[in-house]
Amino acid sequence: MPSGTLPPDVVIARALRAHTRTLVAMCTMVVVLMLIGAGALSMAGGNVGDLRVVAGLTMLGAGQVLALAAAAFAGAGWLHIVRAVGTPGSTQSARAVADGIPGEQVEVTGRRLALLLRVTLGVAVLGVTAWAVMAVEGVIGAVVGGVLVAQVAVVITLVRTHLLLHPRRP
């Protein structure tokens, strides 16, 4: 985030807003996956122990854990900024902006999410592969769950690019 001629409080507010929106988006993804899982369990009825259902739900759970990790990265970045800048309008906040702390933290969170993106795609592929090796009957459920894990990767990508690293200015 360029600090250019912007007042320090604006730079801090933009960095905090980017982290807050990232946190909200990833927490929303966790809730959406929970609702999908609840719907899948509801539709499974008496077939909850079926390998297709179990495979799909394990992949869905992995997607939720990865979305929670992304939310944790955003929350940790937000906390780091808040602790580093101090009171709005203070010399500590002006010094923090001059040192580039808000912008650096946005970049750090972006790098963490980029790594998590790779992990998410790896989990999707490895999860389907593991189910194919362990129990072929569960592959269809694993593929459906893998698609949902891939959607977590899409949300991480969108959040990273549009909210965190290249936010639209009001």
> What single string gives the DSSP state of each residue in 118-166?
HHHHHHHHHHHHHHHHH-GGGHHHHHHHHHHHHHHHHHHHHIIIIIIIS
pLDDT at residue 165, rounded to an integer: 77
Mean per-residue pLDDT for 154-161?
A: 94
pLDDT digits (tens, 9 = 90+) for 27-57: 999 999 999 999 988 988 888 788 999 999 9
Mean per-residue pLDDT for 15-22?
A: 94
pLDDT at residue 170, rounded to an integer: 54
Q: How confident is the model at residue 168 (pLDDT cuts 50, 70, 90)?
A: low
Mean per-residue pLDDT for 87-106?
A: 89
Residue 1 has pLDDT above 70, yes or no: no
Q: Which helix (H) or strand (E) holds 110?
A: helix 101-134
Tokens, residue 99: 């040192």
Contacts of 86 (CB under 8 A, 6+ apart): 92, 93, 96
Tokens, residue 121: 């795609």
Mean per-residue pLDDT over the chain, rounded = 91
pLDDT at residue 71, rounded to an integer: 97
**Tokens 């993804």 label which residue?**
29
The alpha carbon of residue 52 and the mean position of all alpha carbons in its chain are separated, in whole angstroms, by: 26
The alpha carbon of residue 46 and the mean position of all alpha carbons in its chain are separated, in whole angstroms, by: 33
pLDDT at residue 3, rounded to an integer: 45
CA distance 106 to 16: 9
Q: How confident is the model at residue 88 (pLDDT cuts 50, 70, 90)?
A: confident
Proportion of the chain above pLDDT 70, given as a percent: 96
CA distance 92 to 97: 9
Residue 169 has pLDDT above 70, yes or no: no
